[in-house]
Structure 1
């Protein structure tokens, strides 16, 4: 029996495309393979594009219009579709494309030939009426200097040696590629398939390069042909003069992004040496002729840390090679080794990023999504979309009763988990490429030896920009006393996406609801007191800090009392000597109170800063000595809160900013 045909989505992104979109859509809707859906995502067109699409959509239920309020570019528009659908295959269609009736059926048949084929591309020609048309593209070639070029552009069909059957090519032009869904999800970096920093230029080069790095095939189907009258090539200086300064700067910026992100480590130096003459000429041209393109270099200077972090993720994934599909029979195991528990609440887009970051599930891993949402079922829909291609026996979704809080959700996750170990992946955090692989290799190499394993983590802001890396230099085990001392001295020691703990150990200890927003620190302290912790240097996850969440409301006497109760519990265990426990308590509360005062002053709220500093007068805090390292900060913040001066620049401000970020976001 032949394999069933995959489900198909056609994604079209428009921007002032009224002159071509109707012909494009009529050719799309006339395909002989008629079982598909079409999404047209419009980027705030000011012409009749939306009206034309809406008129056709009224006559064909397969066609759907999604009008965005702003221009998100080629990358943002297609990501909008890819993030909200789950078809087996996706055909990207430029609005100036015209398809022959058999095009979709032809490329789908090619996609089914080999699971390793991630992309299928046909021959794009500039006329369908001529017997020997001019070729627009037949895939792309990769050049030694990090660029890609259209194969056979501008040549007649009769002049080129096209093979009769399939041909592997270096890449696919973005005008009409057919992508496998598993390929799309594999190439995502921090949740994005297309890197939205590219906006609308060279993003197909980026996908083609990553495809090669990850071991996927891109094949040309020479018998599949479509019309594409291309109007612009970046190397054409006459056409370039007509472009906006933003488009010109993007072209410069995106080439540099490619060179920074994608060359393999052993090819990085050689690729840059080959690219240097051209890049030097581009820089000189920008200095002398096209000065607004210098914005590209300014952008990279401001964002080089984020770009380098992306490179690290891409290269880590590339080191794994191609991931074969997981067979359904492989997922049938008695008990998973790891349960990835994902508590969520009304943030479906962030939830999708978290779930996609997990990647293909090994047979001994399960996912448990525990949803506290009450207003709608968007998180449930997103879960089912994103996990549709994971083995059904390896993931479960639960909708919790109204009124459940974060502590309830955590307890429910522990109750529902089947794995011997549990990883809590909050919906606003995500795993790094190779993160799950690293975790599983560590667990499998020493099963059940450790009750707690703490990996490295990258701290990122809401825009996924790396703020710092939190890791140890070498793997080592902290005995209970040392582990408790560290967690009670440094409240940011444990970041959720980096903590893997024994399910049974967590269940036996349980969460203490009376600790409220300090219940995580309380659990880790008790877990470490009982079992210690293995510190693993590899970074496996990203922990997201939210500026909006950094309020001063938690810096009050009840929170201090709850934190003091954790120290009382540790005192009762006897795991730390009295002097070590007193030293940890002293540093902890100075960090905590000074970080809160700093946050209040950043918000220009001097009364709140004075209230927070007054916590030092609480009886159990007043008896604590002021460590020498914290005395200057305490004196400075006290003076600033009383005199109304602005926060100073320099070392004091930098120190307090670091402490406030580390402490505030961990409670």
Structure 2
């Protein structure tokens, strides 16, 4: 079985980093390592990670510091370059991995030697109707989150790369100093430029926060424009459909519902990340043997 590193770039993620790490190490197959790469956090992110490591010395968690440059891309690159696994998983600090995520990712690359990048669907763990959300996201990613002749684009909150593939493109990926591109789509297009195979697995499931929907429409629109900016930076690649059109339709509803639902969770003293993990554990325990 191929071993899997998990890289988590972090900047001021004190609110969610403990839940993220708990989900990352409570797996059916333990990850090879979990690298939290702090990028000049000004809150208690580092202290929380250090406390987690002290309380869970058996967990393969390490805290790294990328202080030379502020930004997601240099922080992501630092972590990917430092990782030692056969496969490099990359998730966000507010992501909650399904309990069999590492096992699934290892299997995807182990069963397909040509696979160089992999991604899967996500659901909003801090919103209602998680299963419906997962089905909708799966539908979008299988049909529209593609480039060129239907080749898979990787999603930064839920993606993995074969270590050899990352070493091939590490010196080529865009630095995006103006911060106007989607760094995950950029990595995807660099892989495709080398003729590398990217795959989609419906079983590679991750929970993400809907907090991006709790922003102004101006901010949301600027975030959606990153798709166009990224493809314009790679004119040799193209796409038939625009995934962001679905997000524009969803934005008004999620923007209105998100703060209301957060108040409900708070009133009921529910940790949505913990709740999702337990629900998935029950599902795994009651599922037929694979």
Q: What's the secondary structure of 2:102's corresponding residue?
A: helix
Question: 2:167: which partner in 1?
Answer: 185
Is 1:62 paired with 2:66? no
Summarize the alignment of residues 39-58 of structure 1 with structure 2, pairs less than 5 Å apart: 39-58=35-54
> SS where residue 261 of structure 1 aligns?
coil
- Asked if 1 retains the 8 angstrom alpha-carbon contact of 2:9 and 2:79, the reply is no
CA distance in 2, matches of 1:141, 1:35: 27
In the TM superposition, what is the alpha-carbon distance from 1:251 to its structure 2 partner? Answer: 7.5
Shift of 1:262: 4.1
1:239 maps onto 2:212 in alignment: no
| CA–CA distance in structure 2, aligned partners of residues 15 and 35 of structure 1 | 22
Cα 1:226/1:35, change in 2 over 3 Å:
closer
Q: Which runs of 5+ in 1 are unaligned?
A: 145-167, 276-667
* Residue aligning to 1:221: 201
TM-score (norm 2): 0.68
Q: Deviations over 1:223-252 (max 9, x none)?
A: 23221123337xx9x634358xxx95x976
8 Å Cα contact 2:180/2:229 also seen in 1: no
Q: Secondary structure at the match of 1:32?
A: coil
Q: Secondary structure at the match of 1:222?
A: coil
Compared CA separation, residues 143 and 111, structure 1 to 2 (3 A): closer
**Deviations 1:581-620 (CA, angstroms, capped at 9, x unpaired):** xxxxxxxxxxxxxxxxxxxxxxxxxxxxxxxxxxxxxxxx
Q: Please, what TM-score do these two structures have when normalized by structure 1?
A: 0.32
Bigger Rg, structure 1 or 2: 1
Q: Match of 1:18, SS?
A: coil
The number of aligned residues is 232
1:209–1:110 distance in 2 versus 1, CA, 3 Å:
same
- Alpha carbon RMSD of aligned pairs, Å? 3.3
Query: In 2, distance between residues paired with 1:200 and 1:41?
Result: 22
Q: CA deviation at 1:107?
A: 1.7
Which of residues 93, 97, 100 in structure 2 aligns to 1:99? 97
- Of 119, 122, 146 in structure 2, the residue corresponding to residue 121 of structure 1 is 119
Flag structure 2 segments of 5+ consecutive residues without an equivalent.
243-290
Q: Deviations over 1:452-488 (max 9, x none)?
A: xxxxxxxxxxxxxxxxxxxxxxxxxxxxxxxxxxxxx
Aligned 8 A contact 1:119 1:219 in 2: yes
Q: Could you give the per-residue CA deviations for residues 547-600 of structure 1, whole angstroms, max 9, x where no partner exists?
A: xxxxxxxxxxxxxxxxxxxxxxxxxxxxxxxxxxxxxxxxxxxxxxxxxxxxxx
Residue of structure 1 in register with 2:259 after alignment = none
Q: Residue 198 and residue 192 in structure 1: after superposition, are their counterparts in 2 closer, same or farther (change >3 A)?
A: farther
Quickly say closer, same or farther: Cα 1:260–1:241, change in 2 above 3 A.
closer
Conservation of the 8 A alpha-carbon contact between 2:98 and 2:206: yes
* Offset of residue 207 of structure 1: 1.7
- After superposition, where does 1:168-207 map in structure 2 within 5 Å? 170-188=152-170, 191-193=171-173, 195-197=175-177, 199=179, 201-207=181-187
Q: Compared with structure 1, are the counterparts of its residues 254 and 242 closer, same or farther at alpha carbon in structure 2 (3 Å cutoff)? A: closer
Specify whether residues 193 and 88 from structure 1 end up closer, same or farther in structure 2 by C-alpha distance, changes over 3 A only. farther
Residue number among 187, 190, 200 corresponding to 1:210 in the alignment: 190
1:141 aligned onto 2:145: yes
Tell me the residue number matched to 1:571: none
What is the alpha-carbon distance in structure 1 between the residues aligned to residue 30 and residue 90 of structure 2?
16
CA shift digits 1:73-102 (9 cap, x unpaired): 221111112223332110001111112221
What does the per-residue CA deviation read over 1:255-289, in whole Å, with 9 as the maximum and x for residues that have no partner? 4454143416xx8xxx8xx99xxxxxxxxxxxxxx
Q: Matched residue of 1:120: which SS?
A: strand
2:236 is matched with which residue? 263
The CA distance in 1 between the partners of 2:131 and 2:163, in whole Å, is 34
Counterpart CA distance in 1 for 2:156 and 2:10 is 14
| 1:68 Cα deviation from its structure 2 partner | 3.1
Q: Equivalent residue of 1:56, what SS?
A: helix
Does structure 2 conserve the Cα–Cα contact (< 8 Å) formed by 1:31 and 1:102? Answer: yes
1:435 is matched with none
Which structure is richer in relative contact order (CA contacts within 8 A, separation 6 or more)?
2
| Local SS of the residue matching 2:212 | coil
2:8–2:34 Cα contact (<8 Å) kept: yes
Per-residue Cα deviation, 1:30-88 (whole angstroms, up to 9, x for no partner): 11211411111111111111111111112235111113335532211111122233321
> Would the aligned equivalents of 1:76 and 1:194 in 2 still touch at CA under 8 Å?
no
- Partner Cα distance (1:200, 1:14) in 2: 19
Say whether residues 1:27 and 2:14 are aligned partners: no
CA deviation map 1:609-632 (0-9, x unaligned): xxxxxxxxxxxxxxxxxxxxxxxx
